[in-house]
Amino acid sequence: MTVTALSEIGTAEIDEFEHGLAVILLEAADDDHVIGNRTSDWTGVAPTIEEDVSISNIAQDELGHAEGLYEEVADIVGSSLDFLAYRRSPEEFRNVQLVEREFEDWADTVVRQYFFDVADAIRFEALLDGDVAKYDESLAGYLEKVSEEEQYHTEHGEVWLETLTEDEQSKAKVQHAIDENWVDGIAFFESTPHVEADVYSEPLEEQREQFITEVTSTLNEFGFDVPETDVSDVGAGRAGKHTDDLDNLLAETREVREQGVDVPA
């Protein structure tokens, strides 16, 4: 099965719009599934007790989003949540590389989570402003809930970005994380293979520009610089090209899933 072959993960006959919608929702589910598991690494070891609670809640939110989105995809294509989340190979995952790599430190976590939350909110806004509500009002309602939670996550990230400017060493670590992750942040909006229907209200190129404008404004406000980047050739995660970190993470989640759990084939 290739990363673009939705026909091989389900049994339902779907039209062009449903195919495009399912691909986009699968990308979102994979993003949330991976970053939720990755962020949960901080549970019990966050910088403060208060942040331990906050980052754990954010990780749980992302995993909850993933579960709900996988269920929506499964309903559209005729598959199952278990198959989509746990039975595909790493090459079949559509998440961006931004969410899969192990975190270097707290600054790296703050920056990558912030990039993701801003991008995710833009994605869901573009979906909600499209024809999703005409297709399924219940789905639109769920996406609205997810979008609101991502806005909260974004605000949480902005608080930490400002907090980390209070110390020169911490600020330098944040700037390093921005420099290292900027290309991967932009790659969130890389082209989606084999989606021909107009599911979004605006194309990915415009979503990307919105992301660049919004994030640049916030980072500049806190005294950070944004690298100049050629956006014509970034990213590969949507096409199934990933790092070894994703292989390791998925293997771990499957092992935990299968321990003591009777999962149907």
What is the mean pLDDT of the segment spanning 97-102? 96
User: Structural domains in the chain?
Assistant: 8-224+238-255 (1.20.1260.10)
pLDDT surpassing 90 at residue 97: yes
Report residue 3's pLDDT band, with 50, 70 and 90 as the boundaries. Answer: very low
Backbone dihedral angles phi then psi of residue 109, each to the nearest 5 degrees: -65, -50
pLDDT digits (tens, 9 = 90+) for 65-84: 999 999 999 999 999 999 99
| pLDDT, mean over the chain | 90
Residue 54, C-beta contacts closer than 8 angstroms, at least 6 positions apart: 46, 156
Written as six digits, the tokens of 169 are 């060493």
Rounded CA separation 150/152 (Å): 5
Per-residue DSSP letters for 81-142? HHHHHHSS-GGG----GGGTSPP-SHHHHHHHHHHHHHHHHHHHHHHHTTTHHHH-HHHHHH
Instruction: Report CA 193 to chain centroid distance, whole Å.
Output: 17
Residue 31: CB atoms within 10 A of its CB come to 28
Report residue 125's pLDDT band, with 50, 70 and 90 as the boundaries. Answer: very high
Rounded CA separation 15/120 (Å): 25
Q: State residue 198's pLDDT score.
A: 82
What is the mean pLDDT of the segment spanning 35-61? 95
Q: State residue 153's pLDDT score.
A: 96
Rounded CA separation 112/101 (Å): 10
Angle at Cα 38 formed by Cα 36 and Cα 44, nearest 5°? 95
pLDDT surpassing 50 at residue 214: yes
Q: State residue 238's pLDDT score.
A: 87
pLDDT surpassing 80 at residue 2: no
Residue 243, CA distances (Å) to 95, 99, 194, 226, 228 in order? 11, 11, 23, 24, 24
Residue 214: CB atoms within 10 A of its CB come to 15
Task: Decide: helix, strand or coil at residue 72.
Answer: helix
Quote the percentage of the chain above a pLDDT of 90.
79
pLDDT digits (tens, 9 = 90+) for 128-170: 999 999 999 999 999 999 999 999 999 999 999 999 999 999 9
Q: State residue 1's pLDDT score.
A: 39
Residue 82, CA distances (Å) to 93, 116, 202 in order? 14, 24, 32
Q: State residue 264's pLDDT score.
A: 46
pLDDT digits (tens, 9 = 90+) for 183-198: 999 999 987 766 656 8
